[in-house]
Amino acid sequence: MMLGIVGGRVYDPCNGRDGEVADVWVKDGRVVEAAAIDRERAEIVDAAGLVVMPGGVEIHSHLVGAKVNSGRKLRPEDHRGNERVRAGAFRSGVGGTVPTTYVSGYLYSEMGYTTIMEAATAPLVARHTHEELEDMPNLDKGVFITMGNNHFIMQAVSEGRPEMARDYVAWLLKATKGYAIKLVNPGGVENWKWGKNVSELDDPVIGYEGVTPRKIVETLAWVNEELGLPHVPHIHGINLGRSTSARTTVETMKTLAGRRAHYCHLQFLSYGEGPRHVNKGEAAAVAAAVNADPAMTVDVGQIVFGQATTMTSDGPLQYSLHQTAGGRWMNDDVESESGGGIVPITYKRTNPVNATMWRTGLEIFLLVEDPWRVFLTTDHPNGGRFTSYPQVIRLLMDRAYREETFAGIHARARKGALLPELEREYSLYDIAVITRAGPARALGLERKGHLGVGADADIAIYAEQDDKEAMFAKPRYVFKDGVLVARDGVLVAEVPGRTFYVAPPYDPAIEDEIRAYFERAYTVAYENYAVLAGDVAGAEPVACG
């Protein structure tokens, strides 16, 4: 199979291409040199005047697994009006805030995305997560494994045995076919099992002598480096949504100063004390901390006005959110490993808290100076649906649209806002960085996020329009591994995806200790726990070191 995309304006930041007219040649699913192509036999796409970018790379989204399923069940009304009826060989399903598996693959693909990361799965339910990923076509994938409240790791921290944590983490990543270390409210989710939380980095974790959120973060950052994982520790810090979050976020960043780390959905963690119990947006302080340390990356978790379904391992957060939001919710516990909760929510322009969150997210995007270190997410479906990305892109690229939307938000959220003074408008190059090149680099995915020789032929081609939302909502062509999968925003083909995982080496002596631990602590047998390579279709290891 040979393909040439000729004469397009190529935005490929990894290779320094900022809209220059160039051809992209593809053979057997990879980008190749022009010389490797027999032009007589190649299929040619005339891209004259069109914008050519690598396929989108999603660094943080909740799409599959136990809590996402619970979210689907909790919100039957979410499905109404979002049905997608079977068309030809394509599966039916529903969209809404928590789309079904096939539909998630279709929707990402129709928007020009070709790689996604499932942002959180508890190790115990990883097999289910992988089974759902297999049902999500047209995307390459990976899974982050939640470890910030894991009993075995906290025991290792308590005993002052970081090597034990390291070997266990390596074993756990292999056993779950995971891609990265995820932390969610370290220590706080464990304390929630006792009806409590943590509020400071040095608060004690109940039942684990000497263990604190800070020690968990430091240990897992050290483990990440020791194992040479392609991604960095992916951190959802303590105090999400609280008026102390900006302070503890900056303190967490300082704890890991100079060490590589990713801080996810930062918008939710950038608040201070405001008048009348409405959090004050602290985008400036948090963005300054990001700007000061080139070793860190962040994603924003922008909220979008409208329906959302919040779902996170952060059980205590969800309890307090439920107290404010009212209505249905659910709480979850994963033995020895994690917790969680789900709360449906509607973000309103006229709600001062929601409106403050909206403008704080945009302020972070505009105040973090280096686009290579700030990525586009809505923490789907927490801040909004991933299908809202084109709208967020328009807000970043179009200052007039931003001002118009800002004028319609609650007056208390406008007061003290930095947004009106921020003149910056993202360019197409910047958008290619925050949605493709940057996330791929932070994830250590060498064949993703660029169009250089050797890259996977994941390519999105857009017709430029003044309305950037319309432009990014319906790409003219989307190719996955060189196969045309969507045209004019409509799915035309379904191809299987890969699942990237890591399997760093470890001292096998740890297995005896883990086996004994399973007999003491788990309802599941050690032998039944691991996800085997054969259980994951398209499994592809990514090198560590």
Q: Using an 8 Å Cβ cutoff, are 30 and 452 in contact? A: no
**In angstroms, what is the minimal distance from the CB of 234 to Zn ion?**
9
Max Cα distance, the chain (Å): 70
**Per-residue contact track with Zn ion, 165 to 204, x per CB under 5 A?**
----------------------------------------
Minimum CB separation from Zn ion for residue 382, in Å? 6
DSSP for 210-266, please give it.
T--HHHHHHHHHHHHHHHT-SS--EEE-SSTTSTTHHHHHHHHHHHTTTS-EEE-SG
Give min distance, CB of 265 to Zn ion, in A: 6
SS3 content of the chain, % helix, strand, coil (to 5): 40, 25, 40
Identity of the residue, 183 or 542, whose beta carbon is nearer to Zn ion in the bound complex: 183
Closer to Zn ion by CB, 120 or 366: give it. 120
Size of the site for Zn ion (CB under 5 A): 2
Phi-psi region of 469 (alpha: psi -120 to 50; beta: other; left: phi over 0): alpha
Three-state SS at 320: helix
H helix runs in 258-379, sequence order: 283-292, 315-325, 352-367
Closer to Zn ion by Cβ: residue 119 or 491: 119
> Contact region for Zn ion (CB under 5 A) — 117-125, 352-360, 428-436, 461-469?
117-125
Whether residue 211 contacts residue 158, with contact meaning beta carbons closer than 8 Å, is answered with yes
DSSP string, 54-83: EPEEEEEE--SSHHHHHHHHH-GGGTTT-E
Taking residue 25's Cβ as centre, other Cβ atoms within 10 Å add up to 22
**CA atoms of 306 and 510, how far apart (whole Å):** 48
Please, what is the minimum distance in Å from the beta carbon of residue 82 to Zn ion? 21
| Residues in 454-473 that interact with Zn ion by CB under 5 A | none
Helix axes 213-227, 245-255, angle to 10 degrees: 40
SS3 call for 337: coil
Q: Which is nearer to Zn ion, 282 or 379 (CB)?
A: 379
Min dist CB 26 to Zn ion, Å, is 33
Between 314 and 398, name the residue whose CB sits nearer to Zn ion.
314
Task: Give first-to-last CA distance, the chain, whole Å.
Answer: 34
State which residue, 68 or 169, has the beta carbon closest to Zn ion. 68
User: Judged by CB, which is closer to Zn ion: 332, or 379?
Assistant: 379
In the complex, the smallest distance separating the C-beta of residue 12 from Zn ion, rounded to whole angstroms, is 28
Decide whether 234 or 448 has the Cβ nearer to Zn ion.
234
Tokens 């109940």: give the residue: 206
The pair of structure tokens assigned to 455 is 């890259």
CB of 264 to Zn ion, least distance (A): 6
Part in contact with Zn ion (CB under 5 A); list of ranges 42-50, 105-113, 115-123, 152-160: 115-123
Nearer to Zn ion by Cβ, of 363 and 379: the residue is 379
Please name which of 247, 190, 241 lies closest in space to residue 216, comparing C-alpha atoms: 190
Tell me which stretch binds Zn ion (CB under 5 A): 47-55, 111-119, 401-409, 525-533: 111-119
CB of 119 to Zn ion, least distance (A): 4
Report yes or no: 208 and 155 within 8 Å, Cβ to Cβ: yes
Interface pattern 369-398 for Zn ion (x via CB under 5 A): ----------x-------------------
Closest contact distance (angstroms) between CB of 61 and Zn ion is 8
Write down the least CB distance from residue 299 to Zn ion, Å. 9
Contact range with Zn ion by CB under 5 A, out of 36-44, 119-127, 292-300, 368-376: 119-127
Compute how many other C-beta atoms are within 10 angstroms of the C-beta atom of residue 284: 15
Regarding 119 and contact with Zn ion (CB under 5 A), the answer is yes
Rule CB under 5 A: which of 303-322 touch Zn ion? Answer: none
Q: Residue 119 or 483: which CB sits closer to Zn ion?
A: 119
Residues of this chain that interact with Zn ion (CB under 5 A) are 119, 379
